Structure 1
Amino acid sequence: MDVVVGRVAKAHGITGELAVDVRTDSPELRFARGSALVAKLRDGTSRTLTVAAARNHSGRLLVRFEEVLTRDVAETLRGTLLFAGTEDLPPTGDPDEFYDHQLAGLRAELADGTVVGTVQDVVHGPGGELLVLRREGGGEALVPFVRQIVPTVDVTGGRVVLDPPEGLLDAH
C-alpha cells in the first residue's frame, strides 16, 4: 500500500530542487538519499523519482531528485503528490498512535455494534485530527479523533468504536 508523504509546492533555485510540503512523521526516512518515491502528477501520470538529497528550509523540505536536473523540469512537477510504500514504516511505539493508512477502511460502529459507516480518511487540521466517515446510508460525517468520541481503535479487528455526542452523526 502506498501513502502520501509529500506534495511538491514549487521549484526552488535553478538546479531542479523542489520545495516539498511534508505529509509524513518520518521525513528523514522517507526522503533519505536513495529512497524511491512514486510521483503522481496533476495530469494523472505517474513516475518513480529517486531522492538525491534533502534539506530543511523555511518550514519546507528542499528535495533534489536524480531524475530532475533543471528548473524547467522541476516546474512541471508543481502540485505532484509523492507516495511511498507502507511496508518499511517503523512501528509507532505508542499503542494510541496510528498511521492514517491503518485507519482508512475500518468499520465505524457504536458501542452497541450498530455500524454507522467506514473510515475513508484522516484530516489533520489546526484543531486536531478528524476521521472522515462514509455513512452507511450515504454521505459523509466528520468525527473528531479524540478518546472521548473514539474510545476504541481496533486495527486488527477492523473497527473503531464511536461514542458521539448527541447530534454529531445526524444528517445535515
Structure 2
Amino acid sequence: MAERVCVGAITGAFGVRGEVRLKSFCATPEAIADYAPLYTPEGRGFSLRLTRPVKGGFAARLSGVDSKDAADALRGIRLYAGREVLPALPEDEFYHTDLIGLEVIDTGGVRLGEVRAVHDHGAGDLLEIHGPGLGSTVLLPFTNDCVPTVDLAAGRLIADPPEGLFG
C-alpha cells in the first residue's frame, strides 16, 4: 500500500496574499486540516490552516506560500497525507489509492483486467477496469453485488459484473 494518500488538490490562488484555493477529497472536507503536514508528489511538505469556506472548497494558508505568484505556481498540485495520520477504515471500506492496480477476476476465475481508476460522480464509486480484449475501459459499480470480495493482501478483487458488461 502507498505510504501516502491523496487528500486534496490546490486549484489556484485565492486573493493576493498567498492563500490557495483548496479542494478536499476527504469524506468530511474540513478534516483535511487534521492530516497536515501535507506533501506534494515530489515530497515538499506544508503545514495547513483553513481560513474560510469558498465555492468548491476552502481558502487556505500553506507554510512558505506568501504571495499570489507562489500560490499560482501550485495550481493543479495534489496534496498527500501520511497513511499513519489517516483514520482506520472499517473492514468493508477502502482508500481509492489501495484499489488502483488491483487485478480483477470474475467469480469463475477468469481475469477481466486491472483497476485503473476509481470515480465518484455522486451516486457511488465506479471502478475503471482496463484489460485484455476490451475495446475500451469498463466502468464497474463498486457495490457488494458487483464486487463481493476485495483482497488487498492478494492484490485482487473478485467481480460479479452485470450481464454483458464485459462483452
TM-score, normalising length from structure 2?
A: 0.84
Aligned residue among 12, 21, 44 for 1:48? 44
Contact 1:131-1:142 within 8 A present in 2 as well: yes
Q: Deviations over 1:124-165 (max 9, x none)?
A: 112221111121335422111111211122222322111111
Contact 2:9-2:79 within 8 A present in 1 as well: yes
Q: CA deviation at 1:50?
A: 1.4
Which residue in 2 is equivalent to 1:164?
161
Aligned residue among 57, 61, 71 for 1:60? 57
- In structure 1, how many angstroms separate the alpha carbons of the residues matched to 2:47 and 2:100? 28
- In structure 2, how many angstroms separate the alpha carbons of the residues matched to 1:9 and 1:140? 28
Q: Which runs of 5+ in 1 are unaligned?
A: 41-45
- In structure 2, how many angstroms separate the alpha carbons of the residues matched to 1:122 and 1:88? 22
More strand by share: 1
Which residue in 2 is equivalent to 1:16?
18
Aligned residue among 122, 130, 133 for 1:134? 130
Q: CA deviation at 1:7?
A: 1.3
Q: CA deviation at 1:66?
A: 1.3
Aligned residues: 163
Q: Which amino acid aligns with 1:110?
A: D
More deviation, 55-64/67-76: 55-64
TM-score, normalising length from structure 1?
A: 0.82
SS at match of 1:31: helix
Which residue in 2 is equivalent to 1:43?
none
Question: Structure 1 pair 55/97, CA: closer, same or farther in 2 (3 Å)?
Answer: farther
Map of 1:20-169 to 2, 5 A cutoff?
20-25=22-27, 30-32=32-34, 35-40=36-41, 46=42, 48-58=44-54, 59-92=56-89, 94-137=90-133, 139-169=136-166
Structure 1 vs Structure 2: percent identity of aligned residues? 34
Q: CA deviation at 1:4?
A: 1.9
Q: Deviations over 1:70-127 (max 9, x none)?
A: 12211222222222332432211x2221111221222111111111111122111122
Contact 1:16-1:64 within 8 A present in 2 as well: yes
Coordinate RMSD, CA, aligned? 2.2
